[in-house]
Amino acid sequence: MRAVFPGRPRARLQTVCTAQWKDQRLVTYISGNALNILTGPHTLAQTIYHDESAALESVALSEGTGKIAACDLRVVYVYRPYGQDEGALKSTYKITSETQSTPALSWGSADELLLGASSLQLLQTTEDESVIWTRKLPKPVKIAEFSPDADLIASVGFHDLLIKIWRRQSFGFEDTGFDFTYLSHPSTVSSVRWRDSRNGDRDFDLSTEQTLQRSQSLSDLEQHTLEHLSEIAKRNPELCIVLDAEGHMSAWGLESVGCKVKTTTNVFNVAHIKDLRLAFTSSQHAYERRVQFLTFCNPGSDAALNVLVHHFDGRLQWLEAKFTELFDPSPRDNRVRTRALWTGHESTIKKIIRSATGRSLISRTEDNEGLIWKQQNTKTGTALVRASTLTCSEHIHRTCLLREGDFVVNLYHGRLALWSARSSRAVMVASCDYELVGRPLCLIILPEPSFTSPYIHLATISSAMHGIVWKVLLAPKDQDSSAQEGNDTPSVEQVCKFETGLQDDVTFVLPVDPAGLPPLTSEFFDAFAKDVAVSYTDRGVLRTWTAALDMEKSSIKWLITSTVETSILRPSLASTSSIRKSAIVDSAKTGLTVWDMRSGQLEHEARYEPQDQIQDLDWSSTPDDQSILAVGFPHKVIVLAQMRFDYLSTGPAWAPIREIRIKESTPRTIGDSTWLGSGHLVIGAGNQLFLYDKDVTASDQMITDLSLPVHEHKAMDLFKLVTLLNGPLPVFHPQFLGQCILAGKASLVQRIVVGLHKALKFFSTGDDLDSFVSLAPEEFYTQREFIINVSKKEMRSSYADFNDDEEDETVTELLAAQLNETLAKVAIPQLSNHEQMLLANTVECVATAEKHRRSMDDNAMRYLLFFRQHMLQKGQVPKVGINITWREIVWAFHSGSQDILVDLISKHFQGKLLWVNARESGMFMWMSDVTALRAQFEVIARNEYTKTEEKNPVDCSLYYLALKKKNVLTGLWRMAAWNREQSATQKLLLNNFQDPRWKTAALKNAYALLGRHRFEYAASFFLLAGNLQAAVDVCVNQLNDLQLAVAIARVHDGDESPILHALLEDKVLPQAAFDGNRWLATWAFWMLGRRDMAVRVLISPVYTLVETPEVPNLRSRSYLSSDPALVVLYKQLRDKTLQTLKGASKISPRVEWEFVIQNARLYDRMGCDLLALDLVRNWEFLVQPKEPPPDKDAPPDPRKLLRRRSSLVVDDLPSPRSPLEKRFSFGKPPPKPVFEEPTASSLLDNFGF
């Protein structure tokens, strides 16, 4: 915690006290009905609220027991330290006096408490609470104070010139008594302080001793001052310090004080200073100019003297001074330094509003009191200083700060008022009455032509979507707030009324959370203008708005810059930053979603416990526009930071980096919170403000969970941390390498890995590592073909064969092994431990893929590399997904090297490929040759049969029946004599299942097996009965295995199977739309022969192209549905065939441009800025025909669309059909292939017997 403002101290004599209890310095003071207990300048140990009391009047702290007594006009509350709760309620006492005067409290011996009001009462605060002694007084006392030894009591009435001294007659509980005498005083007594006669006033002596102990470190000037102080200390005087408001200080020594023998007291001067400036108030109210001092010296403290200054204008200051500096006769600055300044409100904080830059804020309470605070940069860091107090009687609807808190605008019911807050008390300088349809929802600062404009325009929008614009003229910065009226007199006038024209169920309109400077009027009034407001509806529709004023016409134009359908019904809370990030909370107040308003994508979704209801959202941003969100709960605030997008391991886009809990400091719930521009967080709870530092600890559990490249545990600036989570990646980062591979930059990846290998040869921990590994930046975005050496022998001359110094130019397995050995030993500063492990995996995969580079195309290389990486991560991280993603499946699906991939995958599983392995690789989704598909499926069938020692035919039944090889399965059952189902199954399989009788028998067995939850075996009997549809349904619904359903349909009936097409249309595409999976959708469309749609779905969200019975879930709007690798696939497929070209031609240039720009933003959010530059620099758009084609159904002419005439386009359009065929059918399907079942005699050959 940077600082705490526990509340405004009450302007009473006995509302502040301090004591050294055990090894702790305790400070307690009263603020309203709250009792604050502090153990340091910025450490609030506990706050005890007394809701049954309007305000507390007095407090006393026992140095011996640590007990605290506080009272109002009716009840005394006594607290004692209790375990870690530090102040559990012990007991309460009722005051018997009926006077309304302020009670006085003082601790005596042990557990005795003196209560002074209309009478003096001595209370016993042990378990057997009782009143020991009481004495009725002729008039109420103002002060009643025990002496340190509890033998004497000094009491003073209001406006008394006499001090009454009570002497204790005895210390017994039953016969306690006091007699008294008077001490006269020349004027009214305002304060009383007892000298500790037991050990004298030791503050000065103790401080001098501490200074002497460290005298070797003092300067010559301080040594001279120390000699002077040592001489004074030898005389053992009492010190009296006198101050005035002009900065003068006199220190006097009093000798022989307390001497039993009456002597003449010697008074001598210790120091006289003229430059001690303390922050005394200049208030016009005499009572607020009163000041009370409490002094102490902590044992072991490096500073000599500590002073608590209680200003009656509502401040409590903790000052610290060294005696060598305080009493130094030479002129100097900073004789005393402020360790803390406690102030604040007396009632509950309702709202905290910051200025646009975050350098000032106003905290507002339930009783319409406002405190204006300003951020100041000091030597010790950022400080928050109370600048002004605003008090009004009307209810404040909305508030905004102008000119960094110098002016405040309040929106009341029917009136807008301008307040000047340039003095300690704000004064209203202008106002304007208004009439508006509906209740005002917001107060918005409108964009101005320049920052130096003398006018500021404000607007409000009502619940009826009507609004008013005002023009506010502020006084010049150098003009005093009390200046006479003139042309520069502050004023407020109404400019115009307006209607937004939005006919919708708008729930709320709010100003956007500012990030940076106030908005300026854009040169162009379009979607790129800076947002000023956000609205949300009961249907969850978010809209951002910008505005432009036309001063000549006295009108305003509003423009909706973005609209997002969140599908969140009746949102309870929403907030948007000026850089178009929105957070919205559901109706239960436990669900949070974060949206990017530019793309309309969901970036984060979180669910919290029912007891953790979200009640506040606050945005901040780093200087480079990285977003930070503070989510407020009743007793804590969670800070979320924007993260890099990660499409390869699907990491979170937002993550919690800090959790602030205030329950240990205050029982009150959080009223509001806001960010300062410096990154500090201000939280208001009850009547208190907490200022939290922007430094976060790298060893915090939340930070370590992020796997940051921080190899030392130390404090880190919040902005630096967020930049570290979002900034550009080094080119050797595994995510950057992965995206380069997807973008087809395999040669660049080779050079990066080789460059890293060279850079690490002479690298040691602590050295700097070039993020570009000596590569030129233009190599990442220029269309230059680099030659990659496959082997040294191919490219070297005979002379070069003898040159042993030549470096590897490709990533061989030997180089990969050497580099990974280095990575295991050296910590790379730009990578975390986890990222370094992923880099080693990537290097190994690149070497493996390079070995096969000449025998496969780029898509096969993409698949192989990520399949290999998936298998490596699966062995290292158990949480990695079971199956490879649809992205990798699509790459292999569009590869021409599928036979090599099948062989490599089979070798990876040692030639024993089971269905679980095939599903993991997605093999039966991407194999395009149906003959090879069936051959591989038969391999799966054999391996499923032989996977156990007993060789159970049940395991392979589904596969052989899908292949229509019932005879093979019958032969296998013939050898399964151990199986108790052998006889019945073998007998059943010998029948002809074309016969309806046996088909019905097979169906009965299938349904019986479903009832026993033997789903895979049940699907086998459905196939035996010839019911492929039922078998597919079982795979999808019961087994939840879409890949198995597709594989069975393809193997059984081929790729033109109506059942396969129905599965793709009714199950796969709706699921893709529901989840927003464009990879799955493009694969499904391609399988259906709709290649034009397969291209279009890469650009457009799936749910816009596919009608679904269900409403798409939030995942369909997730940023994960917009993988930047989609742009690579789109470019590859766009001009591949006439169908794809036809689909691409239906995409407008504007949509394609937005698609490219969106992917460039995604690359930037991933930390791959160089790839974003490459994309926008080298993208080629289709040439738009000047004249529309005469026939809309005619195929596009590639010669007119493609920029390069050499492009080869495959004609895959269906042959022309008659009008009747076009109307009623898709044409005749190709004839289905007829399969012949093998004979039983081929059984042994199939299994190698």
Give whichever of 122-131, 472-481, 748-757 has the largest mean pLDDT: 748-757
Grade residue 531 by pLDDT with cuts at 50, 70 and 90: confident
Give the model confidence (pLDDT) of 334-379 as tens digits. 788 888 899 999 999 999 999 988 999 999 998 899 999 999 887 7
| Among 55-69, 619-633, 805-819, 1137-1151, the least confident range | 805-819
More reliable by pLDDT, 1041 or 1109: 1041
pLDDT exceeds 50 at position 1062: yes
Mean pLDDT of 1169-1180: 92
Cβ pair 1077, 1068 in contact under 8 A: no
More reliable by pLDDT, 253 or 1223: 253
Those residues whose C-beta lies under 8 Å from the C-beta of residue 95, and which sit 6 or more positions away, are 71, 73, 74, 75, 76, 103, 115, 117
Residues paired with residue 432 on neighbouring β-strands, in sequence order = 416
- Most distant pair of Cα atoms in the chain: their distance: 134
Cα-trace Rg, the chain = 41
Burial of 505 (0-12, 13-18, 19+ CB in 10 A): exposed
Grade residue 1225 by pLDDT with cuts at 50, 70 and 90: very low
CA 407 to chain centre: 32
For position 324, what pLDDT does the model report? 77
Helical pair 833-851 and 858-876, crossing angle rounded to 10 deg? 140
Cβ pair 61, 17 in contact under 8 A: yes
CA distance 845 to 811: 10
For position 1106, what pLDDT does the model report? 85
146 token code pair: 């025990």
Strand, coil or helix: what is 771? coil
| Among 440-454, 476-490, 669-683, the least confident range | 476-490
Could you please report the per-residue DSSP string of 907-945? HHTTT---HHHHHHHTHHHH---HHHHHHHHHHHHHHHH
For position 791, what pLDDT does the model report? 39
For position 524, what pLDDT does the model report? 63
For position 219, what pLDDT does the model report? 66
Q: Give pTM, 2 decimals.
A: 0.85
Give the model confidence (pLDDT) of 720-743 as tens digits. 888 888 889 999 999 999 999 999
Grade residue 793 by pLDDT with cuts at 50, 70 and 90: very low
More reliable by pLDDT, 56 or 264: 56
Give me the percent of the chain exceeding a pLDDT of 90.
45
Mean pLDDT of 1166-1182: 91
pLDDT exceeds 80 at position 27: yes
Strand, coil or helix: what is 547? strand
Mean pLDDT of 615-635: 92
Those residues whose C-beta lies under 8 Å from the C-beta of residue 564, and which sit 6 or more positions away, are 541, 542, 543, 582, 595, 597, 600
pLDDT exceeds 70 at position 1068: yes
Closest CA to 603 of 726, 485, 483: 726
CA 462 to chain centre: 31
Alpha-helical (H) ranges within 112-252 are: 203-213, 220-234
Those residues whose C-beta lies under 8 Å from the C-beta of residue 768, and which sit 6 or more positions away, are 829
Mean pLDDT of 1148-1168: 91
Q: How many Cβ atoms sit within 10 Å of the Cβ of residue 327?
A: 23
Closest CA to 935 of 910, 952, 918: 918
Closest CA to 297 of 206, 197, 198: 206
For position 704, what pLDDT does the model report? 66
883 token code pair: 């199956």
pLDDT exceeds 60 at position 1247: no
More reliable by pLDDT, 873 or 408: 408
More reliable by pLDDT, 22 or 574: 574
CA distance 1184 to 1206: 18
Residue 1123, CA distances (Å) to 219, 710, 1077, 1113, 1144 in order: 66, 29, 10, 18, 19
Give the model confidence (pLDDT) of 59-95 as tens digits. 999 988 889 999 998 888 988 887 644 444 445 655 5
Pairing of strands 715-717, 695-697: antiparallel
For position 1199, what pLDDT does the model report? 56
Residues paired with residue 310 on neighbouring β-strands, in sequence order = 292, 316
Average pLDDT in the chain? 84
